[in-house]
Amino acid sequence: MLLISVVVAHRSFAAPGDVDASFNAGPVVNTPAYSTHVKVQSDGKVVIGGAFTSINGIPRNRIARLNTDGSVDGLFLNAMEGANGPVFCVALQGNGQILIAGSFTSVNGVARNRMARLNADGSLDGTFLNGLSGLDDWVESIAIQPDGKILIGGFFTLVNGVTRNLVARLNFDGSLDGGFLNGLAGANNAVLSIARQSDGKILIGGAFSVVNGDSRNSIARLNDDGSVDQGFLNGLSGANAGINALALQSDGRILIGGSFNLVNGVTRNRLARLNSNGALDTSFLNGLAGANNFVYTLGLQSDGRMIVGGAFTSINGFPRNCVARLNGDGSVDDWFLHRLAGANETIGSVAVQADDKVLIAGDFSLINGVARSQVARLFLDYGPPRIEAAGMVNNQFSFILMGTPGDTFIVQASTNMANWISLSTNLLGSSPPVFSDPQTSSFARRFYRFRKS
C-alpha cells in the first residue's frame, strides 16, 4: 500500500506540464514575430531553426543543435556562418543530414535560395541544389518520403526556374521531380503544412481555395502525381480560414489546427478532426468550444492524446496559455498544466519525445513562471502520487490529489497518527479531485493521508 502524508511539499514531484529543469538553452536572441522551430534527433539532441543569431551568448545564425541538457552543441555549425535569413522549418533525414527551409538566400556563405541540406556537423551538403536556383519565395513546410524525395509547401511559384505554385516535390539532390504536378496549376495561395499518408497520398493545408482548378478550401489531398484526390472532401466545403498544422493519426483520421471556425459548415474553433474521406469527425470536439485563438502546431502521443500549441489562452473554456493537451475526443486533459501558467507568448512548434517529455518552441520567455527563452522541455507523465495545494479553504482543510488517472485513493484522517479512519474514496478521473474535510473545525488537530487502493 502506497502511503503519503500531507506534509509532502508542494510541487515536490514533476507533474504533467511542469518545466523540465534539466533542459535550459539559456537566452535565445531572436527576431520578433519569427517563432523557433524544433526537431528531436534519434540521439536526443535537438535541432532548432528560427531567426536567432545567438544562444546563451554563442553565435548561431538561424540554425543550431542543442545537447540533451539544452546547451549548445559546439560540434555543430562551429565557426560556420549559418543562414542569412529565418529558418521556418527543419526536417531530419535518416542518414543524419538535416534539411532546412525558410526565407534565407545563403547558408555558410554559399548561395542557397530558401532551402539547403546540412551534414551532421552543420556544414553545407554541396550535392543538394548544386548549381540550381532553388525557390523564388518562402518555404513553410517539408515532408520527407520513404524513397528520399522531398515534399515542400510555401509561398513560392518557381522551383529551379520551373513553375510550381506553392507545392512541389524534389528529388534527393534537390532537383525538381518533374512527374509531380506536371502541367497542373497547383494551389492559389499559401501551403502552410504538408504530410504524406502511408498509402502515398499527400495532404496539404494552408490558405488556398483552389487546387489544380478544383475548389478546395484550406485542405486538399493529392495523389502521388500531384493531381487532386477526388475522393477527399468531394462536395464538402472544407475550412473557412487557414490551416496551419496537420497531424495524421494511425487510424487514418486527420487532425487540423489553424484560424478557422467552420469545417464543412459545422462550428469547429481552430481545431477539428476529419475522417479519411475529409468528412468531419463529429466525435471530436462535439459540443466543445475549441480554442479561442490560432493553433499553429500539433503533436501526437502514442496513446492517442495530442499536444496543441498556438496563440490561444483557453481551450474548451479551460485556461490554457498557448499550450494544452487534449484527450482523444478533443476534451482538455486537465491533468496537463493543471494550476500552471503555461507560456507567456505564442508556441509555434512541438516535438513529442519517446521518454514522456515534449519540446516546445516559439516566442515565449516564460513557461509556468520559469524563465525559458524560445525553447523548453515539459514533462508529460504524472510522476509519483502526491498531495498538492494543501491548506484551509472556508474553514475546511482542502487539498488536491495528484496521481495517474484511473487510480483510486482512500483519504484517511487521524488525531494522533496512530488510529486512522477512512473519510472518502477518490477515483482519479479527467481532472485532479479536490478533497475538503467539513469536520476540520471539530478537532484541535487533524492529520491526513491517502492510500492507493
Which residues is 99 bridged to in the sheet?
Answer: 91, 117
Evaluate whether 72 touches 55 at the Cβ level (below 8 Å). Answer: yes
Q: Which residue from 216, 223, 218, 189 is spatially nearest to 205, judged by alpha carbons?
A: 218
CA-only gyration radius of the chain, Å: 25
pLDDT in tens, 143-166: 999 999 999 999 999 999 999 999
- Measured at the CA of 149, the angle between CA 144 and CA 154, to 5 degrees, comes to 65
169, three cell numbers: 516535390
pLDDT of 1 higher than 50: no
Report percent pLDDT > 90 for the chain: 73
pLDDT band at 388 (very low <50, low <70, confident <90, very high): low
Confidence check: pLDDT of 382 > 80: no
> End-to-end CA distance of the chain, in Å?
7
In this prediction, residue 175 carries a pLDDT of: 98
One-letter amino acid for residue 204 of the chain: I
Greater confidence (96 vs 395) lies with 96
pLDDT tens-place string over residues 436-448? 788 877 777 778 7
**Stretch 36-58: mean pLDDT, rounded?**
92
Tell whether the model's pLDDT for residue 210 goes beyond 50.
yes
pLDDT of residue 281: 98
Q: Are 155 and 179 in contact (CB under 8 A)?
A: no
Mean pLDDT computed over 6-18: 57
What is the Cα 185 distance to its own chain's centre?
A: 31
| CA 139 – CA 114 distance, rounded (Å) | 6
